[in-house]
């Protein structure tokens, strides 16, 4: 059964008697990239809005996993089953890249306990390191913003990714990078990727290309050399895929990530508490003892308290972090992979466990 099926789809605006989409039929499967091309005003974006559940068709049907979208909770469908990548990014400009991902997870109702770590792992897969992930969106390049946009679309692990001119604002080199990412999502992660584009270069990445003419979806090219090379591509990319974890390793990683999180909190809050206590002591000395001795003692405490509180604790935290990183390296060597891929495997295992639990309930 196809992941998504469109049957005799018809759509027209309320103020018009003319159909924008007319008796359109198509099927979309996992593991493939689809490109939809056509002139401006042909109905490409309208089709995407219907697929994404933002609007309902006038006639015909759109089915997801065998269920008609008209008969399902479209809010839940948008929150959990489909991710959208925009041409203009549509990110929160005053938030960091990681915060944009976490917010998306909160909106979708994700119960992932380590959302920030999950966001970092997801952004690393998109080529955004932790330092860049902590920058405000306004300080990122167009290519970096689009990578964040793709990560945000993946935050709730949807089956379908739709992209409306995802490279329209990017240079040719960055366009190729973004298309490589979208292709890997389809061919390696078994996502269904549907792209609307005017670019011949972008459409060349697609397994199947459809055009829209007179409101109908017309096959332009079904199948490609890319699909023929899919097995070879998978063999090459399998070296970079996340390993499959057993429960023992998962629990070990969970303990390490929990310790890292607690260690980071201790490194911040304990020095702040000590410093605050020292400043209060200095204030009391200056207020109640006064004079030269009291004021000098208060000044010495105020000046030296910050380094005295932060430096030892930072060294302690750094030592703990190094020890935890060494444990992660050991786990990575066990699976002959990198710590980034190991982190992603941890989150994949966690997500699969939750899905099985939900199905059992």
Of 47-56, 88-97, 194-203, 336-345, the poorest mean pLDDT is in 336-345
Q: What pLDDT band is residue 234 in, cutting at 50, 70 and 90?
A: very low
- Average pLDDT value for the chain: 80
Closest CA to 275 of 311, 320, 319: 311
pLDDT at 228 over 60: no
pLDDT at 75 over 80: yes
Q: What pLDDT band is residue 226 in, cutting at 50, 70 and 90?
A: low
pLDDT at 233 over 60: no
Question: Quick one: pLDDT at residue 25?
Answer: 93
The tens digit of pLDDT for each residue in 129-182 reads 989 999 999 999 999 999 999 999 999 989 999 999 998 888 888 898 999 999
Q: According to the 3-state scheme, what is the secondary structure of 291-355?
A: HHHHHHHHHHHHHHHHHHHHHHHHHHHHHHHHHHHHHHHHHHHHHCCCHHHHHHHHHHHHHHHHH
pLDDT at 6 over 70: yes
What residues does each domain of the chain span?
A: 4-240, 247-360
The tens digit of pLDDT for each residue in 8-28 reads 999 998 888 889 999 999 999
* Pair 109, 79: CB distance under 8 Å: yes
Question: Quick one: pLDDT at residue 253?
Answer: 64
Higher-confidence position of 352 and 202: 202
Question: Quick one: pLDDT at residue 66?
Answer: 92
With b for 16 or more beta-carbon neighbours within 10 A and e for fewer, the 56-70 pattern comes to ebbebebbbeeeebe
What is the CATH number that goes with domain 4-240? 3.40.50.300
Phi, psi of 88 (to 5 degrees): -95, 15
The tens digit of pLDDT for each residue in 83-139 reads 999 888 899 999 999 999 999 999 888 888 888 888 998 998 898 998 999 999 999
The tens digit of pLDDT for each residue in 277-302 reads 777 777 776 777 766 666 676 676 66
Mean pLDDT of 230-255: 53
If DSSP codes are grouped into helix, strand and coil, which group holds residue 4?
strand
User: How many Cβ atoms are within 10 Å of 237's Cβ, its own excluded?
Assistant: 13
pLDDT at 236 over 50: no
H helix runs in 72-136, sequence order? 74-80, 97-107, 115-125, 130-133
């Amino acid at each position: 059964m196809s992941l998504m099926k469109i049957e005799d789809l018809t759509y027209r605006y309320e103020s018009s008697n003319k159909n924008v989409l007319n008796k359109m039929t198509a099927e979309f499967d996992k593991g493939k990239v689809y490109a939809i091309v056509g002139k401006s005003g042909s109905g490409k974006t309208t089709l995407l809005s219907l697929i994404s559940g933002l609007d309902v068709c006038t006639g015909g049907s759109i089915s997801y996993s065998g269920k008609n979208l008209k008969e399902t909770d479209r809010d839940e469908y948008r929150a959990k089953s489909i991710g959208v990548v925009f041409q203009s990014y549509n990110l929160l400009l005053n938030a960091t890249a990681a915060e944009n991902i976490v917010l998306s997870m909160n909106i979708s109702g994700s119960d992932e306990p380590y959302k920030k770590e999950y966001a970092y792992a997801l952004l690393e897969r998109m080529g955004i390191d932790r330092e860049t992930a902590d920058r405000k969106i306004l300080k990122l390049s167009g290519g970096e913003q689009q990578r964040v946009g793709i990560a945000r679309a993946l935050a709730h692990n949807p089956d379908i990714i739709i992209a409306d001119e995802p490279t329209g604002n990017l240079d040719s080199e960055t366009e190729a990078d973004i298309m490589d990412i979208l292709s890997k999502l389809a061919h390696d992660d078994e996502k269904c990727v549907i792209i609307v584009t005017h670019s011949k270069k972008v459409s060349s990445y697609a397994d199947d290309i459809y055009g829209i003419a007179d409101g109908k979806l017309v096959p332009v090219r079904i199948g490609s050399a890319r699909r023929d090379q899919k097995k070879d591509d998978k063999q090459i990319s399998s070296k970079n895929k996340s390993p499959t974890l057993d429960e023992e390793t998962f629990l070990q990683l969970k303990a390490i990530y929990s310790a890292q999180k607690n260690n980071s909190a201790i490194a911040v809050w304990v020095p702040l508490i000590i410093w605050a206590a020292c400043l209060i002591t200095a204030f009391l000395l200056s207020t109640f003892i006064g004079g030269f001795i009291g004021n000098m003692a208060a000044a010495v405490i105020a000046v030296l308290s910050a380094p005295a509180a932060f430096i030892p604790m930072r060294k302690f935290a750094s030592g703990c972090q190094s020890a935890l990183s060494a444990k992660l390296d050991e786990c990575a060597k066990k699976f002959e992979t990198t710590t980034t891929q190991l982190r992603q495997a941890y989150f994949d295992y966690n997500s699969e466990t939750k899905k099985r639990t939900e199905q059992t309930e």
